[in-house]
Amino acid sequence: MSDPAASKAAREEGNTHFRRGRWADAAAAYGRAIAADDGDAVPRANRAMAWLKLERYAEAAADATAALAIDPAHTKARYRRALARRGLGDLDGAAGDLSSVVARGDNAAAREELAEVYAEMLAGSRARAAGRVESAVDKEKADKERAEQVEQSEQVEQYEQVESEQAEREMGSAPAQVHAHAEALLDQSHQPPQPHQPLPASFAALRGKRTRPAYAQAPAVTARSPASEQVPSSTKPAAASAPASAVLSVPSPSVSPALAPPAPPGAIPTPAPSNPASTSPGAGLALLRALRPLSPVQRHAYLWHYPASIVPRILAPTLDPEALGTVLGALDAGVGTGADASNSAEYRAWAHELMVGLRHTPRWAVNAGMLTRAEREAGERVWAAAGGVGTYL
């Protein structure tokens, strides 16, 4: 049962989102308008434009085609289908739609778009023709080279045959001492081998005896006092400290500070949030800004500082597909590297609670539906590692 009033209200909501650049929200609102009145072509044409902004050309072409099925004279729907077909690489279909739009009236944008499509089609035709010519030339060249190789091979065989026959003739007329010498050499080849003479030390053996320079020695792993140095911890603040047996003490070699090697890139500590329990306005935006310059593993370590219930709460006002993909990628980096004891019950419970919380954020269906394939696969991996049941997205 159609409800034109509800459809119009949802369509106007979508127009507001569209004017403010919120393409995904606009598409969702237009979807509600279509559900309220599926006999109206306007919300379908409008959603096609939102899909075009999101570069989802297949969905745009489908909505535009549905709008034209309801109203074949809908010029905007036909023009938007042309844009979608061009995005999909269907230049013939795009040219047909644009020609129909131009024929219906003066439309400068459609004329310009049609000229560009014709230019692309012409360039493609020339490229294909050049490719065919190049293929023919390459084939002719390959056939010529193959014939030359066969001819050379035949000449080599003839030469080897002549040499073999000449050697047989010379061997048959050689003096007897030559035959005797050849037999002596053959007998020597069947003598038992002489005892093995020691060879000079191999390069591997010499390398094993070399003394490593001071700067190549592994640094000592010793417990440091808080007064001497404070190393920021990348573990969860509430996690228990490691047992004393886990600290390895190795005698420190005499390494000159001037020769000490620089710390590897992976040893750079991940910054920690100042107040991960804060739910004040702007906390979610601050979290996303902090994650942006970090590597995926560092993002995971940074996110691990936050309570699982806080992350969805502070991200809800600003969560979009890009932010959701960033969070899922950070969680997946932790699972993939085994960081923060990702197999522990504490980690699984934390990740599970965080992901369930994300599911309850506004616009979840729209954000999840616009994730890339890699982001969706990352989310499923984390969900499985956290002990989730079924699929996550």
Q: What is the CATH number of domain 1-168?
A: 1.25.40.10
Summary mean pLDDT of the chain? 76
For residue range 67-76, what is the model confidence (pLDDT) as tens digits? 999 999 999 9
First to last CA, the chain: 30
With beta carbons less than 8 A apart as the criterion, state whether 84 and 119 touch: no
With beta carbons less than 8 A apart as the criterion, state whether 182 and 226 touch: no
The mean per-residue pLDDT over the stretch 200-207 comes to 43
Which range among 107-111, 173-177, 241-245, 350-354 shows the weakest confidence by mean pLDDT? 241-245
* Non-local CB neighbours of 363 within 8 Å, separated by 6+ positions: 24, 25, 28, 319, 320
With beta carbons less than 8 A apart as the criterion, state whether 284 and 358 touch: no
Percentage of residues in the chain having pLDDT higher than 90: 41
Alpha helices in 71-107 (DSSP H): 75-87, 91-104
Domain boundary assignment for the chain: 1-168, 283-385
For residue range 78-112, what is the model confidence (pLDDT) as tens digits? 999 999 999 999 999 999 999 999 998 878 888 88
Q: What is the pLDDT of residue 162?
A: 66
